Structure 1
């Protein structure tokens, strides 16, 4: 078992508080993604789990054993870094075998693990090549194979695909997900790329300002954001937000549209809807198209609604030009509401 339990972990650098009392449990064999913008604390949290940073407070447990006082080599982890960290003067075989030889494993066991992990990562034909002769994607495969060869309880990955081009990232995402599922290894993966997070994760921990704002499945994070920040960060384009005023009896006015909403006493809430969750039909929000972006399968239209910007994803067959007037009807089951004070979902 390699369950990871993070209890009340905080980290300060002088007067700057990078992490605020983080509590998080990652179950055995789970693929957890830490997602957030630069500076949100995700890499600091990963480094604390790895033993590369010391927490200012709190505890880290791996497999039922408290490890926050142990050096990295005694935590049962392997790491894959953004810059690959492979040795250019060694062959692929020697790179994968490096940690195994440090553990003084028998040569037969080294050979077996190198062969198995090279096959998993589809680099068995490269074992005699020097890593300095490899492409970026091949070096990244070597880095993952080296981590897997150690048979760790946990693999920690810090933006491992960020240096690859778009097509190679797509291929590597699919490979990583399959390989790590087959290896049955608990994985924590840091990224700022929400597409990576959505495609790879069993669960996503969305971080902001040194806090975990929501930890849930990709579908739950996307469809039911727990806070305004999650709705505005997840999705490309992100959610639309319109200030709504209470009319009474659970009725709310958002721009020129009257809607059923939460029966709360606040005078104002924020009405939120994703751009793909509106239809062009009578009786909706009155919108004027300002920018039209054909994107192949669909068209992104940036409109003016009630004096603010509102984005709608429409079918590519629909002909829209700047200046056109539209009526946008939100899908009722996709509407979300947020408290403007706490910014939490209502």
Structure 2
């Protein structure tokens, strides 16, 4: 069993604190994505789990073993790096077999594992080639195959697709999801790409400033952000936020319109751009920029002088200077505490 428990892990680099008392449990065979902007602490946390970095305090458990005091080779972990880290002087077969041979496995078992993982990653026809003869996508497949061949309890992946072009990333995402779903491995995957996170994860841990802001399923993170940061980081374009003023018990005035909301001393209104539709009534949005994007149109506007975006049907093409009334879907409106920035 490869449940991972991270208990109160903190990391200081001199006077800078990269991680603040992080607690996280990752279920056996779960695909967990650590998502956040550069500098949020996600790679530092991954390296602590791997044993490449020592925590200032806290514990890391894999199953019933505390591993934060063990060397990396004793943790039952394989890692896939951003730069692939395949050996150019070895063939694909030798690259995949490298870790197995370091463990002095019998040649028959080495051949079996290399063949099986090469077939899983669709690179069996490349086994005799050297890595210098491969494309970036093929080298990435070799790196993943080498990790899978070790049959680890845990696979850690640090932005493994960031060096690939958009089409190849799409292909590799589907490949990874299919292969890892059929394995017995617990996966932790680091990325700053929210599309990767949403498409791959069983759960997403959104990180900011060395803390986990929310850990939940992709739909939950998207639809019900626990904090303003999550709503602003997840989604392209991100959530709209508008100031609100009290208009009675549980009533709030936003952009000249009144909406039912929480009974609280203060609140901020939030809605996703795709959860709006043109209407005779609704928020008056003064159009600034119109971007036709094929199946839909992205409108950048202002509401009561505040920036606002809407995704509308491509058959509607307003012009800059027009006032477009946009009605929010009532069940998609979210509210945040302006002081704590947490969801209400």
Smaller-chain TM-score bracket: over 0.9
Partner of 2:303: 305
Partner of 1:154: 154
Q: Is the 8 A contact 2:243 2:269 kept in 1?
A: yes
Superposed CA deviations along residues 270-289 of structure 1, whole A, max 9, x for unmatched, are: 10000000010022011111
Alignment of 1:172-251 (within 5 A): 172-251=172-251
Q: Quick one: distance in 1 between partners of 2:64 and 2:326?
A: 53
Q: Quick one: distance in 1 between partners of 2:228 and 2:30?
A: 26
Q: Quick one: distance in 1 between partners of 2:27 and 2:303?
A: 44
Q: Quick one: distance in 2 between partners of 1:202 and 1:328?
A: 34
Partner of 2:272: 274
Q: More deviation in 254-263 or 213-222? A: 254-263
Q: Quick one: distance in 2 between partners of 1:179 and 1:332?
A: 40
Superposed CA deviations along residues 217-271 of structure 1, whole A, max 9, x for unmatched, are: 000000000000000000000000001011221110112111100012x1x3110
TM-score, length-scaled by structure 2: 0.99
Q: Quick one: distance in 1 between partners of 2:248 and 2:318?
A: 36
Superposed CA deviations along residues 84-142 of structure 1, whole A, max 9, x for unmatched, are: 00000100000000000000000000000000000000000000000111000000000
Partner of 2:71: 71
Q: Quick one: distance in 1 between partners of 2:211 and 2:317?
A: 43
Q: Is the 8 A contact 2:3 2:186 kept in 1?
A: yes
Deviation of the 1:319 alpha carbon? 2.1
User: The residue matched to 1:44 in structure 2 has which SS?
Assistant: helix
Alignment of 1:59-138 (within 5 A): 59-138=59-138
User: The residue matched to 1:253 in structure 2 has which SS?
Assistant: strand
Partner of 1:338: 336
Partner of 1:254: 254
TM-score, length-scaled by structure 1: 0.99
User: Aligned residues, how many?
Assistant: 344
Q: More deviation in 313-322 or 196-205? A: 313-322
Q: Quick one: distance in 2 between partners of 1:180 and 1:324?
A: 50
Q: Quick one: distance in 2 between partners of 1:287 and 1:22?
A: 41
Specify every segment of 5 or more residues in structure 1 that has no aligned partner in the other structure, as ranges: none
Superposed CA deviations along residues 286-338 of structure 1, whole A, max 9, x for unmatched, are: 11111000111110000111011100000111121111111010000000000
RMSD, matched Cα: 0.5
Q: More deviation in 75-84 or 245-254? A: 245-254
Partner of 2:48: 48
Specify every segment of 5 or more residues in structure 2 that has no aligned partner in the other structure, as ranges: none
Q: Quick one: distance in 2 between partners of 1:20 and 1:309?
A: 33
Partner of 1:167: 167
User: The residue matched to 1:271 in structure 2 has which SS?
Assistant: strand
Q: Quick one: distance in 2 between partners of 1:73 and 1:34?
A: 23
Structure 1 runs of 4+ off > 4 angstroms? none
